[in-house]
Chain A
């Protein structure tokens, strides 16, 4: 298991260093600095030297590093690094050099709690916050009864929730967020179109609420028990938060759970059939001789006219030896960014059914050795509210609590792409 945990800044300085086992010395940090931080060509998130393996994840300007001396469970180690990052985010808002330095004592306290002898322990944020705080706690003043409550919770079946949560107004917000992955060939055929969805929930509910969650009536979750309905929403796979009872889902397909307090990711899913692509992009790019490239790009919003796509950013690559690009757009703004070799075309809003066009001519300097332009794909980022590319809909969210209070539920849908919607030309 994990023998040591480090956080490095970009310069390779150690911000956090904790050894969990005696099979390593702190000087192992120098090895990581030499092998990874000062190496400009790191080609793997895992580096093994002898029996020692370094696992690293980059977050902002930091390296989150776990070191092992055994045949460690690599997935577990990385999941732990991710979890540490999300805990830190929840505690200090952001994870960067400044926030780590500002909270290093607290971080030591946290990593002593969430890892023991290299074995990750309970890492539920809500529970941690009930006993690891920045406030000064007098060790004598903690009532043992209070602690017992914490320990029962930290080790209990519902370790993610305190029992004593109270809200004046009981509310639950559900956000269905879908990221569309598209890869379209130069000929316009779809090489790959699928949806990574997740359902984010913010639960502000008192007591220990029992929730039941319902999706589309015609929902096929396992292709093996497909019923044949063509309009059904098909999910290839779904994964649930720790709180969802997997055996109940397996037996009756009901999603039932006691939610953590506050924000959490209830479910993650994937869909590959009947994916509705919100934007259609048609691109014609021609290299005219060796001195010019012409662009003709159309983006069409492929959904009802009551909805609209916002924050649309189209990144159009240009050859490395471009000197100038002359762009013409009817909507939005287009700008050539020489440093990144792209034209960035920003359209604040596209109404459903609307079509936007972009034409441009890039001028190139003549080079003696003409290198072939690799033609990286055009990338489109966007957001469409109240739309799901998979067709997934939340039918109901029921909340049962013994005090029988009334609760208000809100559901939002968002379909987006960021760096995942790619068109070749």
Chain B
């Protein structure tokens, strides 16, 4: 290890323009080995770093370019990258120097020159660069070519039409066949960048190019491998065999040490599987994907987090992948909170009858930790587990009661919220615990918990002797409560009255509440509901009873999962920000390119059935260039996003189960475990629907767990 201790910290001091200018001038004479100039430049770079505007020194710093010291040249170039853009009137001074360097005998200098020039996107520089770039893209040195390839992306960003006119895109395309793998991968990266722009060219791969790119992977750097793998999304298989062959070659990359290579390879495999029919191969690929995904959990916590959020998506689409691995997702005591929360979600997903006990034991353990969010989510997961796995429900209820005994307020509140749903899931099974819940009525101060408890009191008022007293206490603060609680109170007092229409107390109570709701409250929902109940009761109390106490649709956990078509689309973004927020990037990032599966004869029936076509705000301009490679049929020019094909008729919700045993047979867990009748249940009534999705119905305290991009519409303006 060559530890060269630098001593530059002393330059980290704020300085004045005047001083630096004087020092630079003084350095012009008697500067042995350019020590003085180097020192001043370092001070200037340090000041740039600290955010001091050093741009007035432009002419002085540029003078230093004559110094034959590489370090000085690099510092001056850094200065130019920082301030060049703001000095269009002075930049011409440097251009001759740049041109000189572009033609240096040393390839490192040539590359440095074009790299620096391309960072200064003003017309004078770009024009000078255009001519040089054309040579550099054909330079005999691969280092210069790989730098030039990226330069094209920069030039294109600065002025797309000009770059197209100069023929750079075609030249990039030619570089895809370069003998050097690094050049190839950078050309791929540049073309991808250009292809992703809303105003960019259409970048698509044919089979022969895709195969050539894959061949270059072995010799690419790890980053290059990522660029190449990523670009394979632009190859659309027309035959099953093409997808299968490609997948087998991609599979090897799963053993790479770099987690981004692994995740990108997984993205491609998931994509290609949509175009396969061979069950055996699909199973084989799923099996192969599991272990590398788990191994990602021994990376740094940040990568673990990325992996976990992706695993959560992957196991919803391909449950076979990590079916038997719930243990590896158990939280370690010292995992960062974001890792723990993500693991919890996966544990719940992987829970089924065989492992429910273990999972429950873990959840109970977590429920006694310190982080409030985590504890809440653990408690809630216990409730969800009870709803998901019938045989575990007894144990879950017991666990929840134990937790209520702790008297920790947020634990009690969370428990009450989930117990309400457990009551609905298993009517007539657990109502015996209501008295215990009532003991903790005073601990409830959050709207969601309070509303849940009030619902319980109202719903089961017929089996609680003191229900009227409880309600009387609860409505005491009616006018101060949030709407959520007021609505619950209103309904509960109506229910109480229906149960005990003879009781004067109940009558007086419902009257009081109805009066408040219709006369004193501003909220229109509440008022309308009040009027509705009032009229119902006034016209025919018996019918009112039938309506208010009608049988409720059963709660299931089916709609817990994301829609299959949406998943297919989201998985095309595996490993990216979109996969972390579980949102399509075009919905939260300005100008981000959306993706969708393309319908071809090879697309398997299952994926086609749920296909969500891409809605693009803006089509690529017609000045596009056909995909690279010799065999590309010209007809593909500027293909419209997707023919708006009418979706094949299918039972929307039951699609999964209908073909679970069929050709694709995703080992749909729910489909196998629960009888199909239950699975068809009313998913709209499920309060957990969309719990994992952003802005889900998860309730106020809970949604804090979900990572999401902040700021809706507008972007930061800097």
Binding site for B on A (CB under 8 A): 1, 13-17, 19-22, 24-29, 31, 43-53, 55, 57, 68-76, 78-79, 81-82, 90-93, 98-99, 101-106, 108-109, 112, 116-117, 119-124, 129, 131, 133-134, 136-140, 142, 144, 147-148, 150-152, 154-157, 159, 181, 183, 185, 191-192, 194, 196, 223-224, 236-242, 245-247, 249-250, 262-263, 265, 267-270, 272, 372, 374-377, 379, 419-420, 422, 424
Contacts and interface: CB of A to CB of B under 8 A. Distances in A.
Interface residues of B, number: 136
Interface in B217-235: 218-219, 221-223, 226-227, 230
Contacts of A99: 6
A45 B302 contact: yes
Given A192-B327, A247-B252, A236 B294 contact: yes
Given A92-B3, A101-B8, A119-B150, A136 B221 contact: no
A196 B144 CA distance: 41
Nearest to B301: A45
Contact of B142 (A78, A90, A152): A152
B577 A53 contact: yes
B333 A376 contact: yes
A81 B251 CA distance: 26
A75 B263 contact: yes
Main SS at interface, chain A: mixed
Given A50-B714, A53-B577, A104-B49, 12 more contacts: A14-B51, A45-B301, A51-B588, A51-B590, A74-B580, A82-B300, A90-B1, A106-B6, A121-B186, A157-B219, A242-B221, A250-B252
A49 B2 CA distance: 41
Given A139-B68, A236-B294, A57 B300 contact: yes
Contact of A70 (B70, B85, B327, B589): B589
Contacts of A57: 300, 302
B108 A150 contact: yes
Contacts of B2: 91, 129
A155 B142 contact: yes
Given A51-B590, A104-B45, A374-B370, A424 B255 contact: no
A45 B335 CA distance: 13
B718 A25 contact: yes
Contacts of B255: 237-240, 246, 249-250
A139 B69 contact: yes
Contact of B69 (A81, A116, A136, A239): A136
B258 A374 contact: no
Given A17-B49, A55-B302, A105-B8, A420 B710 contact: no
A219 B579 CA distance: 35
Contacts of B358: 191
B513 interface: no
Contacts of B486: none
Interface in B550-606: 573, 575-581, 585, 588-593
21 contacts: A17-B48, A19-B82, A22-B121, A45-B301, A45-B336, A46-B577, A51-B591, A53-B577, A71-B585, A73-B264, A74-B577, A79-B303, A104-B45, A106-B6, A108-B45, A112-B115, A117-B150, A154-B143, A236-B295, A239-B257, A372-B408
Contacts of A376: 333
Contacts of A191: 327, 330, 358, 361-362
Interface string B277-292: 0000000100100011
Contact of B330 (A123, A192, A238): A192
B573 A71 contact: yes
B334 to A, nearest CB: 6
Contacts of A74: 306, 575-577, 579-580
A142 to B, nearest CB: 6
Interface of B: 1-9, 11-12, 33-34, 38, 42, 45-46, 48-51, 68-71, 73-75, 78, 82, 85, 105-109, 111, 115, 118-119, 121, 141-144, 146-147, 150, 153-154, 157, 180-183, 186, 189, 193, 196, 218-219, 221-223, 226-227, 230, 251-253, 255-260, 262-264, 284, 287, 291-292, 294-295, 298, 300-303, 305-307, 327-328, 330, 332-334, 336-338, 358, 361-362, 365, 368-370, 373, 406, 408, 573, 575-581, 585, 588-593, 707-711, 714-716, 718
A48 B709 contact: yes
Given A43-B338, A75-B303, A196-B298, A246 B141 contact: no
B709 A73 contact: no
A168 B573 CA distance: 51
- Most-contacted residue by chain A among B48, B141, B710, B716 (CB, 10 A): B716
Contact of B49 (A15, A51, A91, A241): A15
B576 A138 contact: no
Contacts of B338: 43-45
A221 B117 CA distance: 50
Nearest to B112: A112
- Most-contacted residue by chain B among A27, A151, A272 (CB, 10 A): A151
Given A76-B223, A241-B257, A139 B6 contact: no
Main SS at interface, chain B: helix
Contact of A239 (B82, B292, B708): B292
A417 to B, nearest CB: 12
B256 A239 contact: yes
Nearest to A422: B333
B183 A102 contact: no
Nearest to B1: A90
Contacts of B193: 1
B710 A47 contact: yes
Contacts of A374: 368-370
A237 B150 contact: no
Contacts of A136: 33-34, 38, 69-71
B78 to A, nearest CB: 6
Contacts of A249: 255
User: Which 3 pairs show the lowest CB-CB distances between chains A and B?
Assistant: A151-B143, A237-B291, A71-B585
B102 to A, nearest CB: 14
A181 B108 CA distance: 47
A45 B305 contact: yes
Nearest to A238: B255
Contacts of B256: 239-240, 242, 246
Given A78-B300, A420-B332, A422-B333, A26 B51 contact: yes
A104 B8 contact: yes
B576 A112 contact: no
Contacts of A183: 330, 332
Contact of A73 (B9, B49, B230): B230
Nearest to A108: B78
Given A117-B150, A422-B333, A112 B78 contact: yes
Contacts of A73: 226, 230, 260, 263-264, 575-576
